[in-house]
Amino acid sequence: MPNTEFSSENDADQRPEAGAVPGPGSLNGTRRAAITALAEAVQPVSDELGARFASHGQQLALVGGPVRDALLGRRSNDVDLTTDAVPSRILELVDGWADSVWTVGIEFGTVGLRKGGHQLEITTYRSESYSPKSRKPDVAYGTDIHDDLFRRDFTVNAMAVRLPELEFVDPFGGLADLEAGVLRTPGRPEDSFSDDPLRIMRAVRFAAQLGFTLAPEVAEAARGMADRLSIVSAERVRDELTKLMVSPDPRRGIELMVDLGIAEYVLPEIPGLRLEIDEHHRHKDVYEHSLTVLDQALDLERSRGHEPDLVLRLAALLHDVGKPKTREFEGGGRVTFHHHEVVGASMSRKRLTALRFPKDVVSDVSTLVGLHLRFHGYGKGEWTDSAVRRYARDAGSQLERLHILTRADCTTRNRRKAAALSKAYDDIERRIGKLAEQEELDRIRPDLDGNEIQEVLGLSPGPVVGKAYRFMLELRLENGPMGKEEAAAELRAWAAEHL
């Protein structure tokens, strides 16, 4: 067991820069208990590994997110540690103790390892910075934990717990900012964002994830330096955007991105919506409408018992991005956006590909954007069984997400109209469910496969078989399942006319 007697290191005289925000003093009982619980949760890391480093004259501390989350009463799956030992020394010290070790990040000073059920990262005290045109950070090692904490992104992540003695280290007032719900940088935000411009994205991500506000100087620096994001790799930007989108309040992060000019370098299609009036004139612009759809998609996602869904949330945010390119003005002040779903699907695919999202995410989001208006052809309930089959088949694996997106896209304040739309969609879902029980809609195939088509028509493999297959598929969608004999008769009749 680690020693649970605390000291709280918060010596202003040891700060690397005068004027850093002073810390809050010693931890209260609740905070002490949180740190003790964190140490117990990561055993044997907190006692065995801490003692191992200490016995060889090296420092080791829990740092960053795990400490922050423990003080917030949140569970964290991360175990991040920092040390004055250089990577080669870390490897020596964990040899024979760790179950496995990997060195993928060793050029950046990080050694990964596994011990029991814990996956750890140990990083040498360091400094990271970008040259003006670099996409990768330069790394220099340090020897003092205060210097290391000073170079971290925000004060709430610049707190540490020394191991094995559980000494709380907070030289820049991180605990006070944590309690105030404010994001500040240990030093000047301009210096912090210059060292690693991705921290601009992290600021809005933490705002969405933790419900924090940005200190005025942090917001101003982010606004003035947003263009620096252009030197950061698309993969790193994508990872931050992903974390933002699956946070409890992605709207908060998106609004900050737009207001601070960050979105222009990440998702420029979103601020481009602000001046576009939506076709129903129910919101002051399509931007506000899109954020409302995102909020409503989250509510439906939760009410249906789903985990945070990146694909659904991206589709909700991007579903109307095709409107600016398709806007037309007609008589009587009417504005139309014909085929904006088709244009929007293409734009979504292009943007998400540029951000290096996985191919399945790109495909699924663009499919949903392309289908989000399909329901509005349903009208007052006149869809045939054939139309319902096509709706389900075209949605495929995205059907549940399409249900949520379509419902979320109803933002009218007219209660009667909203109720009518909800009732109509209830009917769609009911009919899909009923037909699915009968026909396995998600796996609709023609009644005759390619080999059977060739046999019935006496054909060899070739384009004509594909043409016949497509006819049989349309027949299946139109009429539902048929027997083999009836399907063969229909195929022969079609062939007599078309072949």
Task: Evaluate whether residue 410 is within a structural domain.
Answer: yes
38 shares its domain with 160: yes
Q: Are 8 and 170 in contact (CB under 8 A)?
A: yes
How far are the Cα atoms of 30, 373, 384, 388, 425 from residue 377, in angstroms, in the given order? 57, 8, 11, 11, 11
Task: Evaluate whether residue 274 is within a structural domain.
Answer: no
Higher pLDDT, 430 or 230: 230
Domain final residue, candidates 405, 423, 443: 443
Domain final residue, candidates 200, 233, 266: 266
Q: What is the CATH number of the domain that holds 341?
A: 1.10.3210
In whole numbers, what is the pLDDT of the chain averaged over residues? Answer: 85
**Per-residue pLDDT for 3 more than 70?**
no
432 shares its domain with 471: no
Q: Are 405 and 315 in contact (CB under 8 A)?
A: yes
**Per-residue pLDDT for 1 more than 60?**
no
Q: What tokens appear for 444 in the block?
A: 């609709």
Give the integer Cα–Cα distance in Å for 419 and 403.
16
Task: Evaluate whether residue 193 is within a structural domain.
Answer: yes
Instruction: Tell me: cis bond preceding 324? Omega within 30 of 0 counts.
Output: no
**Per-residue pLDDT for 210 more than 80?**
yes
Task: Evaluate whether residue 87 is within a structural domain.
Answer: yes
409 shares its domain with 493: no
Domain final residue, candidates 425, 443, 461: 443
Among 69, 67, 19, which residue's Cα sits nearest to residue 46? 67
199 shares its domain with 329: no
Task: Evaluate whether residue 98 is within a structural domain.
Answer: yes
Domain count for the chain: 4
Find the domain containing 238 and state its range. Answer: 188-266
Higher pLDDT, 90 or 395: 90
Task: Evaluate whether residue 3 is within a structural domain.
Answer: no
Summarised one tens digit per residue, pLDDT across range 226-251 is 999 999 999 999 999 999 999 999 99
59 shares its domain with 135: yes
Q: Of the ranges 102-106, 170-174, 334-338, 343-347, which one carries the lowest mean pLDDT score?
A: 334-338
Task: Evaluate whether residue 437 is within a structural domain.
Answer: yes
Give the integer Cα–Cα distance in Å for 474 and 469.
9
427 shares its domain with 471: no
Task: Evaluate whether residue 1 is within a structural domain.
Answer: no
Spell out the alpha helix ranges (H) of 211-358. 216-225, 234-245, 250-259, 286-303, 310-318, 323-326, 340-354
Among 211, 418, 408, 173, which residue's Cα sits nearest to residue 302? 408
167 shares its domain with 293: no
Q: Any residues with CB less than 8 A from the CB of 463 and at least 6 apart, and which?
A: none
32 shares its domain with 144: yes
Burial of 260 per CB tally in 10 Å (0-12, 13-18, 19+):
buried
388 shares its domain with 469: no
Q: Of the ranges 365-369, 381-385, 437-441, which one carries the lowest mean pLDDT score?
A: 437-441
173 shares its domain with 231: no
121 shares its domain with 221: no
Q: Are 76 and 92 in contact (CB under 8 A)?
A: no
What is the reported pLDDT for 6? 40
Q: Any residues with CB less than 8 A from the CB of 242 and at least 6 apart, and which?
A: 310
315 shares its domain with 260: no
At 494, is the pLDDT very low, low, confident or very high (cuts 50, 70, 90)? Answer: confident
